[in-house]
Amino acid sequence: MPNEPILVVDDNPLNLKLARLLLSMEGYQVRTAETATAALAVLETFHPRMILMDVQLPGMDGLELTRRLRADSSFDDVIILAVTAFAMAADEQRAKEAGCDGFVSKPLDTRSLPELVRAYLEQERRGA
């Protein structure tokens, strides 16, 4: 599934760089944004198949951005994975209630992130 477009939204430049490197090496088209506002600007001209959404963003947080995207039918086909350092069951539930399709814990696991992304994209393609 190379060449799939992915947006990574995270306020930590090192996390952005790591995710971009890992996913670009797998052949994905990766764009990044450090804030929800920057993500909305990217989304005006870039339609990703997946968004890796940091939950803790300055200003509008990732869950609020997810709710806004889910309210717009043009994003119905986009897989949104919540990315957070808080790995409690309640946090995962809040992410799902906001409209996230899955949950990724920080720190990002460099070995499993590309496989996780691939698995979600393949699952979506099969219509599961």
Give how far Cα 60 sits from Cα of 5, 30, 71, 73, 78, Å: 23, 22, 16, 20, 20
pLDDT value at 42 more than 80: yes
Residues sharing a CB contact under 8 Å with residue 89, sequence separation 6 or more, in sequence order: none
Q: What's the pLDDT score for residue 85? A: 82
Confidence of residue 24 (pLDDT cuts 50, 70, 90): very high
- Quote the tokens at residue 81: 């994975």
Name the 3-class secondary structure at 27.
coil
Instruction: Tell me the pLDDT tens digit for each residue of 2-19.
Output: 689 999 999 999 999 999
pLDDT digits (tens, 9 = 90+) for 75-127: 999 999 999 887 667 778 889 999 999 988 888 888 999 999 999 999 866 55
